[in-house]
Structure 1
Amino acid sequence: MSRICTICARGGSKGVKNKNLKVMLGKPLIAHSILQAKVSGLFDLIAVSSDSPAILQAAKEYGADIVIERPAELATDTAAKLPVIQHCVSEVEKITGFSFGVITDLDATSPLRTIEDLENSVRLLETHEHATNLITGAPSRRSPYFNLVEENSKGFVQLSKELPSAIVRRQDAPKSFDMNASIYVWKRDAFFNNTSIFTPTTILYEMPEERSIDIDSELDFEFVSFLAEKRGNLI
């Protein structure tokens, strides 16, 4: 089955200026995801989508097979993730004439994944008879059934999800996860025929907390840099 890996990296960033090009372990942040995809040997093609010429140039230097210039309407703060990836894959298929059966997207701002995480995620979806797509996440630090609350229209707080019987121990609550924005995998039909990442048959590959930090702030960048340096290499 043919596989494509996309890495979609916008030039603008409010939390961390130029974060996709910010240096970590001697390389721009986006380079680590490109190299992980290459070293895994899973993909027939690796494509990078961006509105930034500097990001596209870095992607070429670190081994992306094709770079796609993202249109302005898909490069705003409010642009949804899935249409950006769909645009990238559609453009690559127009250029190459190939159709890809499995689409994997790596978020450059969540680079602590391992090659094993990537391999396991792709193969878990491919071998699951009924699943249409896969996301990754870590066990949630707060449970919506136990200690995650939300404010109602009257300004009072309540548990986000209530069960018929009260939970007195967090361990007794149904399992919940924090999405880590690291790896997304789709089978082709689900990828092009949906407008949301979530479908009734979405599955999750569990990753540990120490590989699940998504960079949204300077503090996140410091945390990820510390863990990356502790590992010594992100490949």
Structure 2
Amino acid sequence: MPGKNIRMLMDKPLIAHSIAQARATGLFAAIAVSSDSDEILDTAREHGADLLIKRPDELASDTAGKLPAILHALTETETRLGVVVDYLIDLDATSPLRLPEDIQACADLLTETGASCVITGTPAHRSPYFNLVERAPDGTVHLSKQLSSPVLRRQDSPECYDMNASIYGWRRDVLRDDPKVFYPDTQLYVMPRNRSIDIDEEMDFAIVTMIMQQRQAK
């Protein structure tokens, strides 16, 4: 997760942006925003979120996982609305360069394939079969993954993808019964690199801001 300072800098405008993206798809019966911050929830209210979900303390620490917070938001949503949802789509505010079309495509992939989960990614910048290495305790390095025959050109290595943390989708019953991301039938929706930057530090935020400004100028 981004550090506290960069989170304070970016969270409010990016939450508003994520709500607008969700609304633009016309897909959602309800748009919920989950946060431990009253300021973030106030921003969400101002920009039309249907449900504001305050996270309990145990889900608001720097060591808290993503899935427990999503399950809490799912439970709160269903309780408040008095419904049981069929699907859940998570839009991570720190990966805002997706388009509404990407959200729609992920929803289509989830429903048309019957998959338990859909994630998003982009072609990997490094290959674990060619130029991604691990360091052993003695300081020596080796390729993260090795095939029976060495890969002489990166183009010949198996296709690999970086998860971009932009969109996650689940079938509700699967997530409720077995909360995780990687099931035997998890599907991948591939996005281009220029829509796949996940903000983790100030440089990422600067790049995303520049790209978004260029989009608005067109």
Q: TM-score range by the shorter chain?
A: over 0.9
Gap regions ≥5 residues in structure 2: none
- Secondary structure, counterpart of 2:31 in structure 1: strand
What's the C-alpha RMSD, in Å, of the aligned pairs? 1.5
The aligned residue for residue 8 of structure 2 is 18
Secondary structure at the counterpart of residue 61 of structure 2: coil
1:49-88 pair list within 5 angstroms: 49-88=34-73
For 2:177 and 2:141, the matched residues in 1 are separated by 38
- Given the two structures, how large is their TM-score scaled by the length of structure 2? 0.95
Normalised to the residue count of structure 1, the TM-score between the two structures is 0.88
- C-alpha contact 2:3 2:201 (8 A) present in aligned 1: no
- Counting aligned pairs with the same residue, the percent is 52
- Residue matched to 1:143: 127
Match runs of 1:36-55 below 5 Å: 36-55=21-40
Alignment partner of 1:171 out of 152, 155, 159: 155
- The number of aligned residues is 217
CA contact (8 A) 1:15 1:216 kept: no
Amino acid corresponding to residue 205 of structure 2 in structure 1: F
On the 8 A contact 2:11/2:93 being kept in 1, the answer is no
In 1, Cα distance between equivalents of 2:9 and 2:175: 27
Separation (CA, whole Å) in 1 of partners of 2:79 and 2:7:
33
- CA distance in structure 2 between the aligned counterparts of 1:93 and 1:154, rounded to whole angstroms: 52
Distance 1:199 1:77 in 2: 26
How many angstroms does 1:77 deviate by? 1.0
* 1:1-235 to 2 correspondences below 5 Å: 13-14=3-4, 16-21=6-11, 28-129=13-114, 131-232=115-216
Greater share of helix: 2
- AA of the residue aligned to 2:35: S
Deviations 1:55-80 (A, max 9, x none): 00000000100101101110111111
Identify, as 1 or 2, the structure richer in strand: 1
Query: Aligned partners of 1:103, 1:137: CA distance in 2, in Å?
Result: 18
Partner of 1:25: none
The structure 1 segments of at least 4 consecutive aligned residues displaced by more than 4 Å after TM superposition are: none
Write the letter of the residue equivalent to 1:82.
L
- List runs of 5+ in structure 1 lacking aligned partners: 1-9, 23-27
